[in-house]
Amino acid sequence: MNVPSGLIANIIVRRGDAFTLDIDLTIEAGTTTALLGPNGSGKSTAVDALSGILPVDAGRIEMAGRLLDDPVADVYVPPESRRIGVVFQRYLLFDHLDVTDNIAFGPAATGASRRSARAMAGHWIEVLGLSDLAHRAPHRLSGGEAQRVALARALATKPDALLLDEPLAALDVVTRSELRRTLADHLVDFRGPRLLITHDPTDAFLLADQIHIIESGRITQSGTPDDIRRRPATPYVAALAGLNFLTGTNTGGTVALDLYPHTLRSADTHTNGPVIVTIHPNAIALHTDEPHGSPRNTWQTSIAVIEPLGDITRITLDAPAPLSVDITPGAVTAMALEPGSPIWASIKATEIQLDSA
Amino acid sequence: MSQSAETRNLRRRPPWPLAVLGALGAAVFLLPLAGLAKRTPWRDLPELISSDVVLAALRISLLTSLGATTISLLLGVPLAWLLARVDFPGRTLLRAVVTLPMVLPPVVGGAALLFAFGRRGLVGEPLNDATGFLLPFSIWGVILANTFVAMPFLIITVEGALRGIDRSYEHAAATLGASRLTVFRRVTLPMIGPSLRAGAVLAWARALGEFGATVTFAGNLSGRTQTLPLSVFVALESDRDTAVAISVVLVAVSLIVLVIMRDRWWTRT
């Protein structure tokens, strides 16, 4: 039962009377767990507790058999002694140091000589393809570059575990999918437990082995990405699970789907070749008559399934592609929709997100 | 040729009540300078300020004001850090005590220093018994008096900066394995650099102009504890021209430093 090289945490943090974070996490070495939840669900508090910035009020954090935080045993290991690397959403690079010295900061702070710290930084600069930026000041980096430097800086300390706190949230769509690939590559090489904090289901579904859904400070569902998608346990997860994931091949913005005889137009002309296509169920609009507007994707189909989910109703479209569409129950009534109704669907090209498969 | 939108916006004509009152405010500072300039014997100036008494006072002033600035940095920055970052009992009271010299009449400060460090003082007596060393009426006394009135300016500036910076960077440094002292040296200090320099300049300027605490605690011994402000006061009684000349030197030195500092450090954010 005990996983000596893994991260085991029961985190209880109280924020006044209004909010309590109470979650259990077990992350085995060499696997990635995602903590997926909306803003304000307690994700950042969890990061603060795990990294040691915020002591837990109750519970216990243990890493590779080493106790890090336990109020009952009166143990609190401060962040500088935890050996948990963190990649922050806002990068938090030190602006008075160039890229090399930012990456060398950890080794230098933990006793390496200036020369060997810079040599270690050089290694990670090469691994993450940052050679051209080695002497650049952080404020002159793009978001994607800065986040790669932040990842290198965290990895250069040779941490026992890696926390990624919304690493992609501050990036634009194209950079995000590029960096997601970078993360996927380097997470595999990292031997310790990895925790990805995100509000973006795409990140969680594409990067994690295990997903915990966190809502209002509690974990409401746990499982593999497939489990979560197939059997959503709460309305929030259901809304997430409505995400349409398709595979296809992109050629300069024209995406031919693999499984369905249909072609989509995407604003992403960079991510060519085999792709995973993500379309949010809110991004698809339904019309009773043929629409004439800006959306680059319009096609005629019919309604296959109507599924009331409380505040929203999920429609599943019929051939050519069984996409999920979320609309309000009011719209269902107004348009007199029922299974079999003919319907026009439209999606803006900017709403079709592509990631290299 | 083309100016930034901000520059062009700044050139718009200001509303007249603000312009008039603002100009009167500026006059409060400019008129005394004009009075001083008009009274200055410009032709005899080089001779007046190169007299032995003035040069000795200039030397003592520079030595003691820079000494006080150094001590303020050495002790004031850690104290500011404690006040900003550590929650200890009596912190609020200590903060008030630390800034007290800014509002206290310097004479009162000088008297308090005497009661603490004088021959019969709280610390002065045992110190004198043990080592024979006496602070009052020595150049060290001048430095102590200067530090007493100048350090609060540094502490206030640095503490404000410490409270204002984004702590996330310090947290990030800690997750990279840096001890609190390393975080302070390698992240916090560079981040508050501009405020640190501004605080040091303010403290230095205050020390350079210090009069009341110095004369009370260290006396007015020509060549030993007589600083430029003290020599102005003495000269006003006997030799007006010399008093004016020294005043001009003080104004010039201070103005040059403030203008340079402002351009190089304070405009950087």
The answer to whether residue B85 is domain-embedded is yes
Contacts B172 to A, Cβ<8 Å: 86, 88, 92
Query: What region does A336 belong to: left with phi over 0, alpha with psi -120 to 50, or beta?
Result: left
Mean pLDDT, chain B, rounded, equals 90
Domain spans in chain A, listed from the N-terminal domain onward: 7-237, 244-356
Closest partner residue to A80 (CB to CB) among B168, B177, B186 is B177
Retrieve residue B225's tokens.
């504890």
Query: CA-based angle A62:A28:A33, to the nearest 5?
Result: 100
Q: Can you give the C-alpha Rg of chain A in angstroms? A: 23
Q: Tell me whether A50 touches chain B (CB under 8 Å).
A: no
Q: How many domains does chain B have?
A: 1
Q: Tell me whether A106 touches chain B (CB under 8 Å).
A: yes
Retrieve residue B160's tokens.
């404000």
The answer to whether residue B257 is domain-embedded is yes
In chain B, the largest separation of any two C-alpha atoms, in whole Å, equals 73
Contacts B177 to A, Cβ<8 Å: 80-81, 83, 106, 109-110, 157
Q: Tell me whether A92 touches chain B (CB under 8 Å).
A: yes
3-state secondary structure chain B: CCCCHHHHHHCCCCCHHHHHHHHHHHHHHHHHHHHHHHHCCHHHHHHHHCCHHHHHHHHHHHHHHHHHHHHHHHHHHHHHHHHHHCCCCCHHHHHHHHHHHHCCCHHHHHHHHHHHHCCCCCCHHHHHHHHCCCCCCCHHHHHHHHHHHHHHHHHHHHHHHHHHCCCHHHHHHHHCCCCHHHHHHHHHHHHCHHHHHHHHHHHHHHHHCCCHHHHHHHCCCCCCCCCHHHHHHHHHHHCHHHHHHHHHHHHHHHHHHHHHHHHHHHCCC
**Residue A295 near residue A347 (C-beta atoms within 8 A):** yes
* Whether the predicted pLDDT of A35 surpasses 80: yes
Q: Tell me whether A164 touches chain B (CB under 8 Å).
A: no
Contacts of A4 (CB under 8 A, 6+ apart): A64, A65
Nearest Cα neighbor of A103 from A76, A78, A123 is A123
Q: What is the mean pLDDT of residues B75-101?
A: 95
Q: In angstroms, rounded to a whole number, what is the distance separating the alpha carbons of residues B128 and B219?
A: 18
**Residue A227 near residue A218 (C-beta atoms within 8 A):** no
CB pairs under 8 A between A and B: 64
Q: In angstroms, rounded to a whole number, what is the distance separating the alpha carbons of residues B19 and B23?
A: 6
The answer to whether residue B36 is domain-embedded is no
Q: In angstroms, rounded to a whole number, what is the distance separating the alpha carbons of residues B224 and B222?
A: 6
* Whether the predicted pLDDT of A40 surpasses 80: yes
Report which residue type is found at A136: R
Number of residues in chain A: 357
A101 to chain B: closest CA residue: B186
In chain A, the largest separation of any two C-alpha atoms, in whole Å, equals 73
B172 to chain A: closest CA residue: A92
Q: Can you give the C-alpha Rg of chain B in angstroms? A: 22
Tell me the pairing of strands A284-287 and A273-279. Answer: unpaired
* Whether the predicted pLDDT of B268 surpasses 80: no
B189 to chain A: closest CA residue: A96
CATH number of the domain residue B107 falls in: 1.10.3720.10
The answer to whether residue B168 is domain-embedded is yes
- Which region among A275-279, B6-10, B86-90, B122-126 has the lowest average model confidence (pLDDT)? B6-10
What CATH number belongs to A7-237?
A: 3.40.50.300
Report which residue type is found at B94: L
B residues 154..173 contacting A (CB < 8 A): 168-169, 171-173
Q: Tell me whether A86 touches chain B (CB under 8 Å).
A: yes
Closest partner residue to A86 (CB to CB) among B175, B180, B191 is B175
Nearest Cα neighbor of A40 from A11, A9, A18 is A18
Closest partner residue to B177 (CB to CB) among A94, A96, A110 is A110
Q: In angstroms, rounded to a whole number, what is the distance separating the alpha carbons of residues A47 and A60?
A: 14
B182 to chain A: closest CA residue: A109
Decide if B179 and A80 are in contact by the 8 Å CB cutoff.
yes
| Residue-wise pLDDT tens digits, A311-348 | 778 888 888 888 888 888 888 888 888 888 899 999 99
Helix (H, G, I), strand (E, B) or coil at A330: helix
* Whether the predicted pLDDT of B266 surpasses 70: no
H or E element at residue A201: helix A201-207
Contacts A68 to B, Cβ<8 Å: none
The answer to whether residue B8 is domain-embedded is no
Decide if A53 and B182 are in contact by the 8 Å CB cutoff.
no
Q: Tell me whether A153 touches chain B (CB under 8 Å).
A: yes
3-state secondary structure B76-109: HHHHHHHHHHCCCCCHHHHHHHHHHHHCCCHHHH
Q: Of A222-236, A278-292, B204-218, give the range with the top mean pLDDT.
A: B204-218
Nearest Cα neighbor of B226 from B63, B24, B18, B45 is B63
B173 to chain A: closest CA residue: A106
* Whether the predicted pLDDT of A170 surpasses 60: yes
Per-residue confidence (pLDDT) for residue A121, from 0 to 100: 95
A109 to chain B: closest CA residue: B178
Contacts A84 to B, Cβ<8 Å: 175
Nearest Cα neighbor of B144 from B118, B122, B126 is B118
- Which region among A108-117, A137-146, A278-287, B254-263 has the lowest average model confidence (pLDDT)? B254-263
Retrieve residue A167's tokens.
């690493």
Mean pLDDT, chain A, rounded, equals 89
**Residue A285 near residue A347 (C-beta atoms within 8 A):** yes
Q: Tell me whether A54 touches chain B (CB under 8 Å).
A: no
Contacts B183 to A, Cβ<8 Å: 80
**Enclosing domain of residue B173:** 46-265
Contacts B179 to A, Cβ<8 Å: 80, 109
Contacts of A110 (CB under 8 A, 6+ apart): A157, B176, B177, B178
Number of residues in chain B: 269
| Residue-wise pLDDT tens digits, A295-314 | 888 888 989 888 877 777 88
| Residue-wise pLDDT tens digits, B205-263 | 999 999 999 999 999 988 899 999 999 999 888 888 889 988 998 898 888 888 877 76
Q: What is the mean pLDDT of residues B24-53?
A: 92
Contacts A80 to B, Cβ<8 Å: 174-180, 183
Report which residue type is found at B58: L
Q: What is the mean pLDDT of residues A103-124?
A: 94
Closest partner residue to B177 (CB to CB) among A92, A96, A157 is A157
ipTM over 0.85? The verdict is no
Q: What is the mean pLDDT of residues B11-27?
A: 92
Q: In angstroms, rounded to a whole number, what is the distance separating the alpha carbons of residues A47 and A199?
A: 14
Nearest Cα neighbor of A147 from A85, A199, A93 is A93
Q: In angstroms, rounded to a whole number, what is the distance separating the alpha carbons of residues A49 and A45?
A: 6
Query: What region does B62 belong to: left with phi over 0, alpha with psi -120 to 50, or beta?
Result: alpha
Retrieve residue B76's tokens.
């004031």
Query: pLDDT: is B261 or B182 the higher one?
Result: B182
> What residues are paired with A275 via a beta bridge?
A248, A356
Per-residue confidence (pLDDT) for residue B264, from 0 to 100: 61
The answer to whether residue B176 is domain-embedded is yes
**Residue A177 near residue A352 (C-beta atoms within 8 A):** no
CA-to-CA separations, A120 to A101, A126, A127, B98, in angstroms, rounded: 10, 10, 11, 45
Q: In angstroms, rounded to a whole number, what is the distance separating the alpha carbons of residues A47 and A44?
A: 5
Helix (H, G, I), strand (E, B) or coil at A206: helix
Mutate: best of B175, B179, B181, partner A, most A CBs <10 A: B175
* Whether the predicted pLDDT of B6 surpasses 80: no
**Residue B231 near residue B23 (C-beta atoms within 8 A):** no
CATH label, A244-356, candidates 3.90.1300.10, 3.40.50.970, 2.40.50.100, 3.40.50.300? 2.40.50.100
CA-to-CA separations, A44 to A13, A309, B261, in angstroms, rounded: 11, 29, 41
- Rounded to the nearest angstrom, the minimum Cα separation between B95 and chain A is 26
